[in-house]
Amino acid sequence: MGSVSQLFFDAASLGGIYALAALGIALIFGVMNLVNFAHGEYITFCVFALIIPSTDATAHLLLGRAPAIVLVPAILMVGGGLAVMSEALIFRRLRNATPVTMMIASFALGFVLRYALLAAYGGRPKAISLWPGLNTPVELLGASVPLLQLIVIGITVAILGVLFGLLKHTRLGLEMRAAAENFTMARMLGVKANRVITGAFAISGALAAAVALILVTQTGVADVRMGGPVMLVAFIATVIGGMGSLPGAVAAGFLLGAASVILQAFLPLEARPFRDAFLYSLVIGCLLLRPQGLFALSGAKPRV
Amino acid sequence: MHTHTQTRLRSYSTPLLLSLSLLALTVLAVGLGDKALARAMAEMLIRVTLVVALWIFVGNSGVISFGHAGYMCIGAYMSAWLTLKPTMKALLLPGLPDWLAQAQWPVFPAALAGGTLAAAVGLLSGAAILRLSGIAASIATFAFLAIVNTVYSNWEDVTGATSSVVGLPRYVDAWVALAWSVAAILVASLYANSGSGLALRATREDEVAAQSSGIDMYRHRLLSLVISAFFTGVAGALLGHFIGVLNPDSFYLGLTFIALAMLVVGGIGSLTGAVAGVVVLSVAIEVLVRLEQGFDLGDAHLAIPNGTQEIVIGMAMIVILILRPSGLTGGREWTLSRRLFQTKGRPKQA
Amino acid sequence: MSKLAIHDLTVRYGKLTALDDVSFTVQEGARVFISGPNGAGKSSLLKAIAGVATTAHGRIEMDGDILSGASPEAIARKGLSMVPEGREVFGQLSIEENLLIGTGIRRDKTAIAEDLQDIYSAFPILAERRHASAGALSGGQQQMLVIGRALMTNPKLMMIDEPSLGLAPKIVDQVYDTLVELQALKGLTLLIVEQSSARAARVGGRMILMRGGRIVGDGDAAVIGNEDSLRDAYFGNANHVKEVS
């Protein structure tokens, strides 16, 4: 019983991270057919925005020193701002380019960001302690769960709730959903392309920032390489969720989190280091059976 | 003369011109007697092999692959397994099967074996990945790269995991690399002008239309990937025997990025673009690396910060994508004709 | 002053010329049918006016404002609304959301609510199913929805590309009846691509006949719909074409 609920909490918190990241990627893909390979670096950038640039081994908090009530909105704005800036400087100029061209450009942007961080902070992972109190375990349903894990699950659900509320009940949300379905038609009805795309990037960047905060609190390190793997899983989630489908991305994110936790728990000890390889092979296998994605809507037109 | 024959001849002049230019560059670089220059030349020619191999798939299919560093890794380790001294293998890689642990192949068949294993993996992975449509397939190639990296970084007994494999015979110099890059260019050109290559390029513009016209896109993509993976694997073997040390992380995102950057800068649409991109960016990298190492100006030691190389190349790539999305060559081939550049027989637009 | 003025409009897709130096004007409150065989350039004309096809050269003016070169959203904001071929409903949005998407350009909240009620009383079926997703509607219902959706932007000029495509004749009657009613009610100028000249003649209005990217006839729909010029437009005896305007 204890271990089952433990597994559940692990799966839900890991899946939550994947779901948030996948949502950030799917949102942008939905409105402009861009597979944003810089998303992982948005996450990493937000982690490093917490600390003072230096190549020291230990991290000195910069933004991280601020109280949570200031820190959280500030870091969300850093993420959103970075994403909006990359759109204004780069992707706006590529709006008529093919999806392949945009994808390569985003890959290059991710690389530039990564090496900029490397130059400023050095390559060694740094210990960083943000809200250490959150890692105290609490007893719940027979499992010993770190408080943080519960908070992560709670926050993920809250963010998803807010985001879907935003999409469902605000003007911008309505325009985004319309644009995701048929951008040209939406524009012919007066929907401003720049507003929708900027909005999507802002939300996507803020989601990356949320992921960054969760990751850094959970792991206690800041590492230039930490965004990449999350982005990869999130990409895969968007593919199996049906490219551009937001509910699909979320569901697939949680599914991958669960699969990952289950593999970790049940793989023989010597095979555990290869967990991710099993996970990705499993995914490629799934896609063979359903190339359009596991959660693709039957009525959705192929966009790719 | 027939126009058709002329077109044929012209398209065969491309690999000839490219090979001769590389030969001239090699003669020049080696002839100057500067060791560092000769090594830089060899490294560039290995990259030519890699990027031309990448072009065989990406250039013809239009599907971006992030997975080629994986095929390179596979080829590199295969060649290392076959050529390392058995005593060394017993020490470093105790998990190798007996026949591999005892093997002591000459370097050339080992390189072929590296390419062949990469091609076989290309066939298997491609059979799965290429069932997906363009963008989804690209993401799956990224997952493939992660799979290869995870396996090679953790299979301690067989790959040495993250501790490097050392002691590879360092036989690769500029001439060996030249021979392989010329071979890659010839095969790339032959494939591009074959029925399969032409059919595949027709699908590049419009997947749906090409498929409805009866082209078996999947089969042609798979064939091009297998050929591409072979030369990528060989390029991996060459790199291993050039440096003498193998580490799975040298076949990961950094290499993927550089190879794609070269392809994009030169122009994905043409073989000439693939080669030109390597030459241009290799020179740029060389200059930037030297600047990063620093130089003495009077009493002061001046150096640009580490990482400038990647940042500059990344930005150059973005600028080129914005200003000249089809690369420096604009998708044209270098051919022998009155006009120096000739548009390649592109599929007519409907 | 004319509502819409097109001067020497040319549209090319690659080497293909879809519109070749087309000029005409439309008076305020007019109902203009554009007819002609497939490939005549009718859809390209509408797309160019709406700002979704790039014009090679030429000028498009509405109320003296130059539209050519502006973005589709800017053109929509100037009071031009387009109902494209194939309807293009937002299938995953609800019917009401489809109707409201175009109201982002308006500030008159009460008028928006009134307009919505007008649409709902013109098309009761939409009111009934306002919270259902638009993808579930039948073809005819979707056609009503997209006309309603375009009207909700409060346009001065509305363009409709083939409203009768794929619909049963009875439904087409309904669609046109409502259109004529709404046009009178709102004082709209209408530009309609309609393959069937008989239909255009019955509804009444002006007809512009196109072929091969050019205008080959222009006049009263009831007259021109039955003339030689129509046959010529379809079967290509361009020598007989005369200007009927």
Domain spans, chain B:
4-249
| pLDDT score of B341 | 47
Q: Do residues B94 and B157 touch, judged by C-beta distance below 8 A?
A: yes
Domain spans, chain C:
1-79+157-167+188-238, 86-154
Q: Which residue of A has its CA nearest to C51?
A: A188
Residue A90 distance to chain C (closest CA, Å): 20
| pLDDT score of C206 | 92
| A289 in contact with C, Cβ within 8 Å | no
Asked if A174's CB is within 8 angstroms of C84's CB, the reply is no
Of C71, C76, C92, Cβ closest to residue A189: C76
Largest CA distance in chain C: 55
Tokens of C48: 């160019």
**Does position C141 have pLDDT exceeding 60, yes or no?**
yes
**Does position B77 have pLDDT exceeding 60, yes or no?**
yes
pLDDT in tens, A234-283: 988 988 888 878 888 999 999 999 999 999 888 888 888 888 888 888 88
| A298 in contact with C, Cβ within 8 Å | no
A246, A248, A249, A253: CA torsion to nearest 10? 140
Mutation target vs A (from B57, B288, B322; most A CBs, 10 A cutoff): B322
- Write out the residues of chain C at the interface with chain A, using a CB-CB cutoff of 8 A: 50-52, 71-73, 75-77, 81-82, 84, 88, 90-93, 97, 100-102, 104-105, 135, 149-150, 153
Asked if A187's CB is within 8 angstroms of C52's CB, the reply is yes
Identify the DSSP state of A133.
G
Distance from C-alpha of B219 to C-alpha of B225, rounded to nearest angstrom: 10
> B224, exposed or middle or buried, with CB in 10 Å at 0-12, 13-18, 19+?
buried
In this complex, the chains that touch B, judged by 3 or more CB pairs closer than 8 A, are A
Beta strands in B55-210 (DSSP E): 165-166
pLDDT in tens, B247-291: 999 999 889 989 999 998 898 989 999 999 999 999 998 888 888
Secondary structure (3-state) at C67: coil
Distance from C-alpha of C204 to C-alpha of C75, rounded to nearest angstrom: 28
Asked if A109's CB is within 8 angstroms of B131's CB, the reply is no
Top-tier CATH class for C1-79+157-167+188-238? alpha beta
Quick one: average pLDDT of B109-123? 96
Distance from C-alpha of C6 to C-alpha of B178, rounded to nearest angstrom: 62
Quick one: average pLDDT of A177-205? 93
Of C72, C92, C100, Cβ closest to residue A187: C72
**Does position B338 have pLDDT exceeding 60, yes or no?**
no
SS3 of A55-121: the string is CCCECCECHHHCCHHHHHHHHHHHHHHHHHHHHHHCHHHHCCCCHHHHHHHHHHHHHHHHHHHHHHH
Q: What are phi and psi for residue A290, nearest 5 degrees? A: -135, 80
Q: What is the mean pLDDT of chain C?
A: 86
Beta strands in chain B (DSSP E): 165-166, 245-246, 295-297, 300-302, 333-334, 341-342
Asked if C72's CB is within 8 angstroms of A184's CB, the reply is yes
Mutation target vs B (from A85, A102, A115; most B CBs, 10 A cutoff): A115
Tokens of A295: 């959660």
| B262 in contact with A, Cβ within 8 Å | no
Quick one: average pLDDT of B190-208? 86
Nearest to C11 by CA among C50, C53, C52: C53
Asked if C82's CB is within 8 angstroms of A188's CB, the reply is yes
Asked if C73's CB is within 8 angstroms of A185's CB, the reply is no
User: pLDDT-based confidence at C236, cuts 50/70/90?
Assistant: low
Secondary structure (3-state) at C37: coil
Distance from C-alpha of B216 to C-alpha of B196, rounded to nearest angstrom: 10
**Does position B343 have pLDDT exceeding 60, yes or no?**
no
Distance from C-alpha of B84 to C-alpha of B104, rounded to nearest angstrom: 7
Distance from C-alpha of B193 to C-alpha of A17, rounded to nearest angstrom: 47
User: pLDDT-based confidence at C241, cuts 50/70/90?
Assistant: very low
CA distances from B344 to B7, B132, B264, B268, C74 (A): 9, 28, 18, 13, 40
| B261 in contact with A, Cβ within 8 Å | yes
Distance from C-alpha of C227 to C-alpha of C235, rounded to nearest angstrom: 13
Distance from C-alpha of B275 to C-alpha of A245, rounded to nearest angstrom: 39
Residue C5 distance to chain A (closest CA, Å): 20
| pLDDT score of B6 | 67
| A170 in contact with C, Cβ within 8 Å | no
Distance from C-alpha of B308 to C-alpha of B288, rounded to nearest angstrom: 7
Of C71, C91, C104, Cβ closest to residue A299: C91
Lowest mean pLDDT across A123-132, C66-75, C78-87, C118-127: A123-132
Tokens of B130: 């290429």
**Beta carbons within 10 angstroms of residue B214's beta carbon:** 7
Residue A187 distance to chain B (closest CA, Å): 24
Q: What is the mean pLDDT of chain B?
A: 87
Residue type at position B247: N
| B8 in contact with A, Cβ within 8 Å | no
Mutation target vs A (from B121, B129, B147, B255; most A CBs, 10 A cutoff): B147
Residue C35 distance to chain A (closest CA, Å): 23
